[in-house]
Structure 1
């Protein structure tokens, strides 16, 4: 099954169970967890899946700060806030990104309203959620290294970047 089809099915069937909640409580303090719980359920499920995958990937690398990696995985999509974007608009946004990415990126605009405004907002969030999430985390006074990794998780790999960022990208792409 195509990766995007799997993502749609996962979004429509997303659940967070008691062990998942304990995992979040174990790795995020109360202020950090508040950001996690502001995401919609499919994004929470995705972040948990990314965190579980990242944890597995990190076991083979001694230089990884596993706690930082797990925090980053749980918080990497906090720029996507519950109620901000509908599932239908997310699906349309992914299709636009697949077929007309340059146009879609320039067309997206912050601000909700009617159907078209909401879709433009969804496109904006799709392309800007990393920077938006990093700004939210910075305003809350979270650690700079965590903020940098969240901000850069969709950027092309660069020489000298933290190994936690590299593993986060891999885990995100696998989920």
Structure 2
């Protein structure tokens, strides 16, 4: 649970520096960067932290496409769109997924409305943001290697998957 507390603190204190902005510009073309900047600030900070960690992990590996890895790390959570889910609903969703995951998955629903509908929507986004983000990237014509990794970053590991996906998962779990 201490990891979750750290995540809440990180979300509340999130900032983006000029160095971070330059990093985004280095690895994302303007179309992809537009997706990055449509996330809320805590998700942007998380994606940057994942990218920095992924870069560190990649330095210890052979045959890693670092540009692909860092692009995917920056885009892995773009299915979480700014204004779509409140910070409070995100926190409650993570708590429910931790404590009662089967119930939480069965209770999720797409569609905003009142407080309960918004919480159910937040849970839907929590469980489906990877597929949602991949579909957004695919519709924008991004490389299928990127969309495939983004789509699968929360799936269980499988034989033969790209090392970049493995490293993204590891970096995401550390952040």
Q: What TM bracket, shorter-length normalisation?
A: over 0.9
CA distance in 2, matches of 1:90, 1:76: 17
d(CA) in 2 for partners of 1:122, 1:46: 18
Alignment pair present for 1:61 and 2:75: no
Q: What is residue 111 of structure 1 aligned with on the other side?
A: 111
Residue pairs, 1:21-170, within 5 angstroms = 21-170=21-170
Coordinate RMSD, CA, aligned: 0.8
Please identify runs of 4+ aligned residues in structure 1 that moved more than 4 A: none
Shift of 1:140: 0.4
* Deviation, structure 1 residue 60: 1.4
- Please say if 1:173 is aligned against 2:169: no
Equivalenced residue count is: 175
The CA deviation string for residues 106-130 of structure 1, in whole angstroms up to 9 with x for no partner, is: 1111111100010000000000000
Q: Take 2:60 and 2:13, find their aligned partners in 1: how far apart are those partners?
A: 31
Deviations 1:37-63 (A, max 9, x none): 000000000000000000011011121
Tell me the CA shift for residue 131 of structure 1. 0.4
1: CA distance between counterparts of 2:119 and 2:142? 31
1:103 CA drift (Å): 1.1
TM-score normalised per structure 1: 0.99
Task: Provide the rounded CA distance (Å) in 1 between the counterparts of 2:100 and 2:82.
Answer: 26
Unaligned runs of 5+ in 2: none
Matched, 1:7 2:7: yes
Q: Deviations over 1:62-111 (max 9, x none)?
A: 21000000000000000000000001000100111011111111111111
